[in-house]
Amino acid sequence: MTIRDFKSLPEARQTYPKVIKSLLPIVGGKKKGKKNVLPEATYSVNELKVNKTNLQDYRRICGFADNGQIPPTYFAVLSQSLQMNMMVDEAFPFAMLGLVHVANSVTQHRRIADSEVVSMRVSFANLRDHDKGKQFDFVTEVYSGEDLVWEGTSTYLSRQKTESSGSRDSKPKTVNQKPDATKDDLHSIFAVPEDIGRRYAKISGDFNLIHIHAVTAKAFGFPKAIAHGMWSKAKCLSVMDLPEAYTVDVAFKLPILLPSEVELIGDNLAKLQKDGTVEFDLYSAKNDKPHLAGTIKKL
């Protein structure tokens, strides 16, 4: 079991040289771990002070208000710095470039002031089979003193050949039909500009090549660059009046090719008080293609 503490979050300029090195043929370095085993490791920062400039930039690009509070998705973004270091420093069994972010869950137990000093820790968890390979989680916990104030789970898929890989018809295809939004529904249409991937990468530190430019995205099988999933989740939440404590689960569906126009349709958030749960979805504004499916549960 590896337990590693950092004085501050590792910077991208320190991490990316290690990421590049991890992609090169191994010569006397660390070998990949077994594909059925995740490393037992926890990386943490015991005194995490939010960079106000970065936070302000994040609010601006995602649409969050400057209200003195940490946006619900911000700690998920900060935790990626520790995640990348865990994948390159531990005996991580999968290729980083082959990972697909398929789902994300965040739970806010109370509102968190942007002036608070907190601690963050990230661990590997829950390796399991998927019909297209292997899935695993990064679990992040944020504490104020001894109190758990925020927690999140990011689920990734490592695509691999499986027994069902050769059968395209092994599972029935789901037909998604975009509902008509009524006047009481949560409803918003917004443009996603061509450069959103590059701009978001500078703020989040996530410079995955599929988000940066059409040329680099084509090398990984995409016709154009695609938007970050966590940006699309944040953009959806930024237009919602969320309660004090809640959980937001999302599944990432078809990628948003850049540029695009997308349409957010969901339940009126007033239903949270009565039912305790609301749902929302993000579609292409031009057709029924789904990009994101989300659920909010009040705690």
Q: What is the pLDDT of residues 234-257, one digit of tens each?
A: 999 999 999 999 999 999 999 999
Q: Are residues 103 and 204 in the same domain?
A: no
Task: Give me the number of domains the chain comprises.
Answer: 2
On whether the pTM is more than 0.95, the answer is no
Does residue 164 or residue 145 have the better pLDDT?
A: 145
Domain extent for 226: 179-298
Q: Are residues 241 and 191 in the same domain?
A: yes
Q: Are residues 117 and 190 in the same domain?
A: no
Rounded average pLDDT over 60-67: 97
pLDDT score, position 28: 46
Q: Give percent above pLDDT 90 in the chain.
A: 74
Q: What is the pLDDT of residues 6-24, one digit of tens each?
A: 999 988 666 666 666 666 5
Q: Is the pLDDT of residue 206 over 90?
A: no
Name the β-bridge partners of 155. Answer: 103, 137
Q: Is the pLDDT of residue 174 over 90?
A: no
Q: Is the pLDDT of residue 169 over 60?
A: no
Q: Are residues 259 and 202 in the same domain?
A: yes
Q: Are residues 234 and 138 in the same domain?
A: no
Q: What is the mean pLDDT of the chain?
A: 90
Q: What is the pLDDT of residues 83-108, one digit of tens each?
A: 999 999 999 999 887 788 999 999 99
Q: Is the pLDDT of residue 288 over 80?
A: yes
Please report whether residue 34 resides in a domain: yes
Rounded average pLDDT over 216-224: 90
pLDDT score, position 162: 64
Q: What CATH number corresponds to the domain at position 255?
A: 3.10.129.10
